[in-house]
Amino acid sequence: MEGRKLQLAGKSTFLVSLPKRWVTSAGLKAGDTLFVDTESDGSVSIRQRSNTRPLVRRKAFHERGEETREHLLRKLIGAYVSGFGLIEIRFAPARSPFIRKVAREFCRLVIGPEVIEETANTILIQDLSDPTELSSEKCLRRMHLTVRAMLEDAVGALKDADEAVAHDVDLRSQDVNRLYWMVAKQYHNAHSGPSEGSVAATIHGHRLIAKLLQRIGEHAQRIAAASTILRGEKNVDPKLLEQLTEARSSAVAILDKAFQALVTRNIETANEAIDARVDHQRLIDALARRVSTRRGEALLALGGIVDSLGRTAVYATEIAEEAIDLAVFLEPGPA
């Protein structure tokens, strides 16, 4: 490492010379444009080309006839989340129907990838998504609206004995997963190259929150599945249904307040969401006592619903805690 003096040119422009060996090896000449990035540690990097259009990374899989559907899907999702813009699957022609079916299922499960090229023994998938069009914050907003609606409909399906609504809750979980994987991909991309400290911290927080929202969606699924089991139950206690509805409304209210705190960076609102869990837990404890008198399959189904409503509030308060962390980190320092 060598030191170079900073020079002042005019009244406001600072100059520093570049090593001749680097300029020559890079094939640069006077008048060429260079790109300067400020790193999270305060250092500065100088590049020949802009990072606004990064090179598309490619991942190739050799499918040798041993993969199950689930295993191949996990590998494809892993490549997607890791930021590979091109994913190639190579396979024996005899495996073609299976591979093509899984490849198209993968494209439906996540946001952006499309099959762009096919031969007798290869499939090429390209990620066409644009992070500027669907940012991590937009993904979180959509996840929040989806999971809160899932919670409301899941308990509503039990109350109204509506199997179609319960099934729809299950289908919407796929939308939540797609959004989560998009946030996870953006998190990985942000940590794969240079980025400012505030950007890296924000996307890190967004990924944690996306995972919490995904888990809330999973509990909405559990509630919907339990409501289907209980559909054949006769004379479901109206008081129990009333308490379940109250607990659902309480959980949704905590979730809404936590998410509001996140987008407004309001620490007071986040604390209100966290403090509200005390009253919510009282509702859960009362429900648990009432449900404990049931027997058999009804006990398991109702116990699962109560547990999911309790865990939903736990995840919502964790979102509020993450909102506080982000608000503190992003708060402007003293002038």
Looking up residue 318, the CATH number of its domain turns out to be 1.20.58.220
Q: Are residues 217 and 301 in the same domain?
A: yes
Q: What mean pLDDT do residues 197-201 have? A: 68
pLDDT > 80? residue 244: yes
Q: Are residues 195 and 325 in the same domain?
A: yes
Is residue 270 included in any domain, yes or no?
Answer: yes
Is residue 182 included in any domain, yes or no?
Answer: yes
Q: Are residues 104 and 208 in the same domain?
A: no
Q: Are residues 103 and 173 in the same domain?
A: no
pLDDT > 60? residue 41: no
319 vs 333, higher pLDDT? 319
Bridging pattern class, strands 58-63 and 86-91:
parallel
The whole-angstrom separation of Cα 280 and Cα 201 is 31
Q: What mean pLDDT do residues 105-133 have? A: 92
**Share above pLDDT 70 across residues of the chain, in percent, rounded to a whole number:** 91
Query: Tokens 């648990």 belong to which residue?
Result: 288
Q: How confident is the model at residue 196 (pLDDT cuts 50, 70, 90)?
A: low
Residues 6+ apart with CB under 8 A from 193: 51, 54
Q: Are residues 238 and 97 in the same domain?
A: no
Q: Are residues 306 and 162 in the same domain?
A: yes
Q: Are residues 123 and 140 in the same domain?
A: no
Q: Are residues 14 and 142 in the same domain?
A: no
pLDDT > 80? residue 236: no
Q: What is the pLDDT of residues 245-270, one digit of tens each?
A: 999 999 999 999 999 999 999 999 99
The whole-angstrom separation of Cα 232 and Cα 236 is 10
Instruction: Report the number of distinct structural domains present in the chain.
Output: 3
Q: How confident is the model at residue 113 (pLDDT cuts 50, 70, 90)?
A: very high
pLDDT at residue 1, as a whole number: 64
Q: Which residue range forms the structural domain that includes residue 24?
A: 7-47
Q: Are residues 202 and 294 in the same domain?
A: yes
Q: Are residues 120 and 206 in the same domain?
A: no
pLDDT at residue 16, as a whole number: 85
Which of 104, 127, 150 delimits the end of a domain? 127
Q: What mean pLDDT do residues 311-327 have? A: 95
pLDDT at residue 335, as a whole number: 44
Q: Are residues 104 and 160 in the same domain?
A: no
pLDDT at residue 237, as a whole number: 80
Looking up residue 63, the CATH number of its domain turns out to be 3.30.110
Q: Are residues 62 and 41 in the same domain?
A: no
- Amino acid identity for residue 160 in this structure: D
Residues 6+ apart with CB under 8 A from 230: 158, 236, 298, 301, 302
Q: What is the pLDDT of residues 271-285, one digit of tens each?
A: 999 999 999 999 999
Is residue 100 included in any domain, yes or no?
Answer: yes
- Across all residues in the chain, what is the average pLDDT? 87
